[in-house]
């Protein structure tokens, strides 16, 4: 019973982070702030969901796989954010947004 409550709380927190990242993606004005909102919120959301699901895993190997997926998503999110931001910077090099 306590494990189910723990899982429900952390999965709900993760879903709220995903929701806030999606709202940030729609509401923020430029590419860089959208990237920031989306990558930070999604990484925290997936982390909370993985932590919430750890007690539900049947074996230790399943828990390690879930954490490995989270780690892989952290690296791929950071890399894709860097590539998009670098491309955006190259397109708008020399422009001043002040």
Domains of the chain: which residue ranges? 2-91
* pLDDT of 12: 96
Residue by residue, what is the 3-state secondary structure of the chain? CHHHHHHHHHHHHHHHHHHHHHHHHHHCCCHHHHHHHHHHHHHHHHHHHHHHHHHHCCCHHHHHHHHHHHHHHHHHHHHHHHHHHHHHHHHCCCCCCC
* pLDDT of 49: 94
How would you write the pLDDT of the chain (98 residues) with one tens digit per residue? 899 999 999 999 999 999 998 898 888 888 888 888 888 888 899 999 999 999 999 999 999 999 999 999 999 988 988 898 888 888 887 665 65
* pLDDT of 70: 92
* pLDDT of 90: 87
């Amino acid at each position: 019973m306590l494990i189910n409550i723990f899982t429900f709380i952390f999965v709900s927190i993760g879903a709220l982070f995903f929701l806030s990242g999606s709202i940030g993606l729609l509401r923020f004005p430029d590419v860089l702030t959208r990237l920031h909102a989306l990558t930070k919120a999604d990484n925290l959301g997936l982390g909370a969901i993985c932590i919430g699901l750890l007690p539900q895993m049947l074996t230790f190997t399943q828990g390690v796989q879930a954490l490995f997926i989270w780690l892989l998503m952290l690296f791929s999110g950071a890399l894709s954010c860097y590539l998009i931001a670098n491309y955006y910077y190259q397109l708008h090099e020399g422009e001043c947004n002040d």
